[in-house]
Amino acid sequence: MAEPGQPRENWGSKIGVILAVSGSAVGLGNFLRFPVQAAGHGGGAFMIPYFLAFLLLGIPIAWVEWTMGRYGGRRGHGTAPGVYHVISGGKRWAKYLGLFAVLGPLGIFFYYSYIEGWTLAYAFFSLTGQYQALQDPQAMRSFLAGFQGVETNSYFNGPWVAYAAFAVVYVINFYFIYRGVTRGIERLNKIALPIMVLIACLLLVRVATLGAPHSDRPGQNFINGLGFMWNPDFSALKDASVWLAAAGQIFFTLSVGLGSIMAYASYLKARDDVALSSLTSNSTNEFFEVILAGSIVIPASFMFFGAMGAQQVAQGGSFDLGFVTMPLIFNQMSGGTYIGFLWFLLLFLAGITSSVSLVQPLITFVEDELKLTRQQSVVAIGVLGFAVTNFIIFTLAQGSLDEVDFWAGTLLPVLNAFLEVAIFAWFFGLTRGFREFDLGADLRIPRFFGFVIRYITPAFLLAILLVWSIQQGWPILTLKNVRPEHRDVIWVTRIILLSVLLLLLWLLVIARRRGRFIKPEEQR
Amino acid sequence: MIRRNDAMKSMPVLLLICGMVLLAGCSPEPPHTAEGLMEEGRRALEEGDYTDAYEALTDLVNAFPQSDLASEAQYQICLMYTGVAQDDYRAKQACYIFMRDFAGRSDSVKVARVQAEMDRLFATRLEGGGLFMIILSWTMILALVVFCYWRIFRARANIQAPLEIDTEGD
């Protein structure tokens, strides 16, 4: 990120950018979403569609995003509006479509920073033993609901503790963003990622060495817990929803379609490798997700609650797993105070390395296209984000978070990824695309990926987009499952999101009037 | 022009694939009473059409969760997958839902029967297949991680490509 008149910033090292993208990808979903998805969709058999989606969806889209980002960065554009403009050869519509890739990550940031605050608060609760007396799921859920401010109970009197944690997390986020790519984001990830590996390994060793926590049930041990998680049920593969769940998991875990990778890659030097760096980030994410997260959460649930309890976890949601089931497990574990602290610290680090990447596209957008200084960018975006997140915090019980999550966290990333791949494969062209892949490359991308990128990946994305739109989108759009008394809040949430989109459109128009989107031939 | 043709050439293939995905999800409108759905489910079950039976009985459970027939329908789904249809994946889900949502208002014989099936389905220990999937998944990921980081730390730009990209198309 550069001050006006200065060249754009570059990453300090190759490992720095790899860890930054890995940090962006390794988030709460790795530890909370993947185990639930795998255990609930056929165990080991789930890995077949999962790896196929990794190969056909995750790896190609990541390559495309890295390459588009570096290409745009060379031309002074680090976010989708500018990148689509130069990649499409100056097509008039392209820059407007790019706005969705700025809105998407920003929308996720609006609620993600709040959830990140929960992890910090729960780390504190673990150390102070605040939930230690709670022994059943109902009590732990009540504790969580009180903390969130969804209900007033004996544990909390409103969401003020959660709010304080959010405020702390919010300041930390913007501190790293303000310090810039090299001194802020790169340094954060260089410290956080190794700590995360260490904590996850410690947790894994702790869970693996617990033996059978209930002496009267010796079968409830770590090995059989792995069996619950990994025993393949191949009949699950006949179910289309399992394939869709695997594709969705790969899509979200790699943080593709958000615009964050593109923004990060725009700070690469012209001849920095993208092919191997992208694959390394993806493999780092898979290491966290499959090997570490896949061996901790569900096996631990099985050991303490048995097969039925673990099945309940697998059928439940991610929040339930992270903030209800895991604290209950720690309460039954010797040294649970410290293990609980480490668990929530791990989630916090996973969260913050992701959340800084969610704000980066908008920061890059206003700096590149409007030439704002970093201070101006951070203040303007900080105020906007704070206002919207406050709305979400105080309307959580009415479903505002779920509404933003659907639009920004579910629909827009898939739409953005489709647009990226389509513009890259069909307008930029694969011959030029492969020349860009190969520029400074430490790894030659196999040529059959050309076919995958042109046909398979867009078809896969389009199918996901259509099925989700029909299955989830229509009921959400028509407020089918929303209580009548909550509808006003949902409409206000939509108006806020639309207003943010219009604000971005206005900024884009200003940038265009300042001559930021001249056609390539006019530039010559 | 070449780029436009590329886009147009890709469209029919994409539309065909997406059309197939969408058509696979189409199904006729179900009857709108619990009794009608139960009758349809039972008939399909007798005819050995387990997909239709599952759809009718699940529609019943979803549309009329408070009716007595919902409990019976969920019980039938559980028995279908543990018995004639032999699908452990769906059986686990169906029996779990029965125990979670309907055990409290079903007769004890049915609850005991489902509990017995659950004990069989969830008698978990690490099987050969599970061990194989762990070893396969872990090996693939670890191999990829080691390969990537090994290459990163020994990186040399072994492919020479021009810095200036030809912007005249393919």
Q: What pLDDT, in 10s, does the model give residues B43-91?
A: 998 888 888 899 999 998 988 888 888 989 999 999 898 888 778 788 8
Same domain for B41 and B96, yes or no, is yes
CA gap B137, B140 in Å, rounded: 5
CA gap A67, A72 in Å, rounded: 9
pLDDT of residue A40: 83
Same domain for B141 and B78, yes or no, is no
Same domain for B130 and B110, yes or no, is no
Candidates A42, A71, A432; nearest CB to B170? A432
Place of tokens 């206000």: A492
Tell me the average pLDDT of chain B. Answer: 77
How far is the CA of A222 from the CAs of A213, A303, B104, B114, in angstroms? 10, 6, 32, 27
Nearest to residue A439, comparing CAs of B154, B152, B168, B165? Answer: B165
CA gap A342, A123 in Å, rounded: 7
Q: Do B90 and A239 touch (CB under 8 A)?
A: yes
| Cβ(A126)–Cβ(A341) below 8 Å | yes
What is the extent of the structural domain holding A426?
Answer: 14-523
Place of tokens 């990994």: A230
* Number of neighbours of residue A234 by Cβ within 10 angstroms: 14
pLDDT of residue A30: 93
| Cβ(A17)–Cβ(A186) below 8 Å | yes
Q: Do B144 and A279 touch (CB under 8 A)?
A: yes
pLDDT of residue A391: 96
Place of tokens 């872990």: B138
| Cβ(A81)–Cβ(A96) below 8 Å | yes
Q: Is the pLDDT of residue B29 over 90?
A: no
B166 in contact with A, Cβ within 8 Å: yes
What is the number of structural domains in chain A?
1
Candidates A230, A277, A439; nearest CB to B133? A230
Candidates B24, B136, B157; nearest CB to A240? B24
| Cβ(A276)–Cβ(A211) below 8 Å | no
| Cβ(A107)–Cβ(A497) below 8 Å | yes
| Cβ(A400)–Cβ(A391) below 8 Å | yes
Chain A partners within 8 Å of B169 (Cβ): 429, 432
Is A329 contained in some domain? yes
CA gap A399, A404 in Å, rounded: 9
CATH code, domain carrying B88 = 1.25.40
Taking only Cα atoms into account, the Rg of chain A, rounded to an integer number of angstroms, comes to 23
DSSP structure class, residue B87: -
| Cβ(A230)–Cβ(A48) below 8 Å | no
Chain B partners within 8 Å of A432 (Cβ): 165-167, 169-170
B155 in contact with A, Cβ within 8 Å: yes
pLDDT of residue A48: 94
CA gap A370, A510 in Å, rounded: 8
Same domain for B55 and B76, yes or no, is yes
Q: Do A283 and B144 touch (CB under 8 A)?
A: yes
Tokens standing for residue A150: 């969804």
Give the Cα-Cα-Cα angle A474, A479, A481 (nearest 5 degrees): 100
Q: Is the pLDDT of residue B28 over 60?
A: no
pLDDT category at B21 given cuts 50, 70, 90 is very low
Same domain for B115 and B145, yes or no, is no
User: For A31-59, b where at least 16 C-beta lie within 10 A, e where not — what string?
Assistant: bbbbbbbbbbbbbbbbbbbbbebbebbbb
What is the extent of the structural domain holding B136?
Answer: 125-154
B11 in contact with A, Cβ within 8 Å: no
- Hey, is B38 helix, strand or coil? helix
For residue A229, which phi and psi values (nearest 5 degrees)?
-75, -40
Is B134 contained in some domain? yes
What is the number of structural domains in chain B?
2
Same domain for B88 and B138, yes or no, is no
Tokens standing for residue A217: 């049930």
Q: Which residue of B89, B95, B101, B163 to mutate against A (max A Cβ within 10 Å)?
A: B89
pLDDT of residue B168: 43
CA gap A131, A149 in Å, rounded: 16
Shortest distance between the Cα of B130 and any Cα of chain A, in A, equals 4
* Number of neighbours of residue A511 by Cβ within 10 angstroms: 20
CA gap B12, A519 in Å, rounded: 30
Q: Is the pLDDT of residue B17 over 50?
A: yes
CA gap A290, B91 in Å, rounded: 26
pLDDT of residue A36: 87
Ranges of residues in chain A with a pLDDT under 50 are 1-3
| Cβ(A310)–Cβ(A297) below 8 Å | no
pLDDT of residue B167: 47
Query: So what's the ipTM on this one?
Result: 0.89
Is B22 contained in some domain? no
pLDDT of residue A377: 94
- Segment (H or E) for A16: helix A14-25
Residues 6+ apart with CB under 8 A from B20: none
CA gap A401, B113 in Å, rounded: 41
Same domain for B113 and B39, yes or no, is yes
Q: Is the pLDDT of residue B163 over 50?
A: no
Give the Cα-Cα-Cα angle A20, A97, A258 (nearest 5 degrees): 20
Q: Which residue of B4, B18, B117 to mutate against A (max A Cβ within 10 Å)?
A: B18
DSSP structure class, residue A397: G
Same domain for B92 and B55, yes or no, is yes
DSSP structure class, residue A233: -
| Cβ(A79)–Cβ(A368) below 8 Å | yes
Same domain for B39 and B113, yes or no, is yes
Same domain for B140 and B75, yes or no, is no
Chain A partners within 8 Å of B124 (Cβ): 219, 224, 227-228, 231, 302, 307
Q: Which residue of A443, A447, A522 to mutate against B (max B Cβ within 10 Å)?
A: A443
**Residue scoring higher pLDDT (B119 or A40):** A40
Is B165 contained in some domain? no
B132 in contact with A, Cβ within 8 Å: yes
CA A78 to chain centre: 19
Candidates A42, A226, A235; nearest CB to B134? A226
Q: Do A290 and B141 touch (CB under 8 A)?
A: yes
Is A388 contained in some domain? yes
For residue A128, which phi and psi values (nearest 5 degrees)?
-90, 0
Chain B partners within 8 Å of A302 (Cβ): 124
CATH code, domain carrying A418 = 1.10.4160
Q: Is the pLDDT of residue B10 over 70?
A: no
Same domain for B77 and B147, yes or no, is no
Q: Which residue of A442, A444, A447, A455 to mutate against B (max B Cβ within 10 Å)?
A: A442
CA gap B132, A299 in Å, rounded: 17
Q: Do A435 and B21 touch (CB under 8 A)?
A: no
| Cβ(A56)–Cβ(A347) below 8 Å | no
pLDDT of residue A311: 80
Same domain for B137 and B89, yes or no, is no
Shortest distance between the Cα of A280 and any Cα of chain B, in A, equals 5
